[in-house]
Amino acid sequence: MNFAKLCQTARDLVAPGKGILAADESSGTIQKRFDSISVPSTADNRRDYRELLFTTPGVEEAISGVILYDETLRQESSSGKRLAEVLADRNIIPGIKVDAGAKPLAGCPGESVTEGLDGLADRLAEYASLGARFAKWRAVIDIGDTLPSAHCIEVNAHALARYAALCQEYDLVPIVEPEVLMDGDNGIERCEEVTTDVLHATYHQLHLQGVKLEGTLLKPNMVLPAKQSGETATPEEVADASLRAYYRSVPAAVPGIVFLSGGQSPEEATLNLNAMNALGSHPWELSFSYGRALQQPVLQAWLGEADNGLTAQEAFHTVALANHQGRDGTYEAGQGGIPQGCHGQPPGPVRHIRACHGGCVSRTGNPPHKANDRALTRSFALCASWHCRVQASLRTCTNTSSWPRCWLSCHDMNPTTSAAVASGLSKNSRVPGKSPTSLLLNTLSIRAWLSSSLARSCSRVRPWPAPARASSVVPILPL
């Protein structure tokens, strides 16, 4: 076991602003996801969809790692490179789901135990040779009138610890995932109580089995009222109850807690993460390892059509960047969601675009839009995503909050323009280095490109008011 390597990988997975994409749906689960958008679950469709996710420009600012399924770890992209290498080339760490799923637990009706320990050592050795650097094992705990039983909690904790200890032997960081489901009718207090019990049992077993906590990550549920409870909880209430459970049971040696989304909407998951981080710093990084909350908007934008690839990538970029903001408690409601009901609508004609540049635009402001016009709303979603991308690029360039942000606001745009803007931004958002000159050049090239591209392809471009305050870092040139 290389302890230093394990610790470094674990820390890299929860680097500031970053989190994990869970794209490890088993064949059965991805079939369900594809059924929801009427796309057949063929190997090619699965490859195309995942390649779309993994090659989304700029997403490496928010995504540190991706959990893969066995098939995906071995699959080649359309360019002939293995998908795991496509990720690694972008500095995104490939990981692998290694459990064999939750199976009925003998003697405990309605409960399950996760299987997959048989032959695990050999599989881990092979996965490591295929480029995986971390792993995931999910245990499932149901809440019911008499559930969970102490036995169910115990056997799942024991299996999680056996898996984690084995992973570390092969220098794979184990993500330990004891998920308390939110499917029942219990309130938030009961979820807090069960989550605390489950985490206690899990850390007890990890300790007994000699797992080095510094080289692990925890992937728990947030503490929430169950779906059928009729209760709602504000992000602040979720943050309070969740943090109380973790503070009482998760050792500070664990570098990060990476949440599953567990059936929350993308917006809920982001707001709840944000609320926890807004409360200040904690002993562990609080980050995300979402499946559905990152992928739902992407699936709805993609619909299995190659022509929707760019829009789907924009959707992924938007939701990833929203969670990037949730990592430091700066996300504001409504900035990361793709408006409901507007996916797959043909974009309308070009109307006008306004570009704001050089000014420090408040991130609380929304570009003006007519929310009840479906085509316009769809454009607004794209627009919000460009806003994030430009903003993020400039932030990466300068690493200073005083740097003026570039903000695009559009009311509508045709597909050619959308494609041009998106691909131009992607090309120009690479940061070649961190010297002041390269930062300045990079920033200026983004601006110059935006200026000429927008002027060429839009019916009207006009600057917003001049900046209230110039940057003290480097001179800002007007577009």
Calculate ∠ Cα 397-444-383, nearest 5°: 80
CA 434 to chain centre: 26
Q: Is 23 among the residues that bind ligand 13P (CB under 6 A)?
A: no
What's the closest the beta carbon of residue 180 comes to ligand 13P, in angstroms? 12
Residue 285 annotated among the catalytic residues of the structure = no
Give Cα separations from 217 to 10, 176, 187 (angstroms): 7, 6, 27
CA atoms within 13 A on the CB side of 273: 35
Neighbours of 103 (CB within 10 A): 11
Please choose, out of 41-49, 199-207, 223-231, 256-264, the segment that lies near ligand 13P by the rule CB under 6 A: 256-264
CB-based burial of residue 133 (10 Å sphere; 0-12 exposed, 13-18 middle, 19+ buried)? Answer: buried
Does residue 90 come out as left (phi exceeding 0), alpha (psi in the -120 to 50 range) or beta?
alpha
State how far the Cα of 96 lies from the Cα of 74, in Å rounded to an integer: 11
User: 3-class DSSP state for residue 447?
Assistant: helix
8 Å CB contact between 90 and 349:
no
User: Which tokens belong to 5?
Assistant: 């390597």
Among 261, 428, 442, 457, binds ligand 13P (CB under 6 A): 261
Instruction: Please give the structure tokens belonging to residue 34.
Output: 């594809």
Number of helices (H), then strands (E), in the chain: 15, 13
Window 166-195: residues binding ligand 13P (CB under 6 A): 177
Active site residue 212: no
Residue 33 near ligand 13P by CB under 6 A: no
CB of 255 to ligand 13P, least distance (A): 19
Cα 10 to chain centroid distance, Å, stands at 16
Look at the block and give the residue holding tokens 């009840």.
372
Measured CA to CA, the distance from residue 340 to residue 297 in angstroms comes to 9
SS3 137: strand
134 binds ligand 13P (CB under 6 A): no
Query: Which of these segments, 155-163, 290-298, 424-432, 459-467, binds ligand 13P (CB under 6 A)?
Result: 290-298
Binding of ligand 13P at residue 66 (CB under 6 A)? no
Q: Which stretch binds ligand 13P (CB under 6 A): 4-12, 161-169, 250-258, 259-267?
A: 259-267
Smallest separation, CB 51 to ligand 13P (Å): 19
Of 54, 69, 203, 290, the one binding ligand 13P (CB under 6 A) is: 290
**Contact status: 298 vs ligand 13P (CB under 6 A):** no
Burial 214-224 (b: 16+ CB within 10 A, else e): bbbbbbbbbbb
Query: Which residues, in sequence order, are bridge partners of residue 256?
Result: 285
Which CB, 25 or 412, lies closer to ligand 13P? Answer: 25
- Identify the DSSP state of 246: H
When binding is defined by CB under 6 A, the residue of 14, 21, 22, 342 that contacts ligand 13P is 22
Number of residues in contact with ligand 13P, rule: CB under 6 A? 10
- Quote the least distance from Cβ 331 to ligand 13P, whole Å: 17
- What gap in Å lies between CA 292 and CA 287, rounded to an integer? 15
In whole angstroms, the minimum distance from the beta carbon of 140 to ligand 13P comes to 9
Q: By CB under 6 A, which span of 84-92, 241-249, 257-265, 363-371 interacts with ligand 13P?
A: 257-265
Catalytic residue among 219, 267, 268, 314: 219
Closer by beta carbon to ligand 13P, 219 or else 411: 219
Q: Which of 123, 158, 292, 324 binds ligand 13P (CB under 6 A)?
A: 292
Closest approach of ligand 13P to the CB of residue 109, in Å: 23
Query: Cβ of residue 248: shortest distance to ligand 13P, in angstroms?
Result: 23
DSSP state of 336: S
Residues ≥6 apart with Cβ < 8 Å to 453: 420, 421, 424
Q: Which of 262, 266, 359, 367 binds ligand 13P (CB under 6 A)?
A: 262
Taking contact as CB under 6 A, which single stretch among the options 191-199, 230-238, 254-262, 459-467 is the one that binds ligand 13P? 254-262
The window from 143-151, 255-263, 270-278, 417-425 that contacts ligand 13P (CB under 6 A) reads 255-263
Candidate list 25, 61, 111, 177, residue with the active-site label: 177
Select from 439, 371, 382 the least CA-distant residue to 408: 382
Whole-number minimum distance, CB 177 to ligand 13P, in Å?
A: 6
Identify which of residues 131 and 220 has a Cβ nearer to ligand 13P in the complex. 220
Site for ligand 13P in 403-432 (CB under 6 A): none
**Binding region for ligand 13P (CB under 6 A):** 22, 138, 177, 260-262, 290-293
Would you name the residues annotated as active-site residues? 177, 219
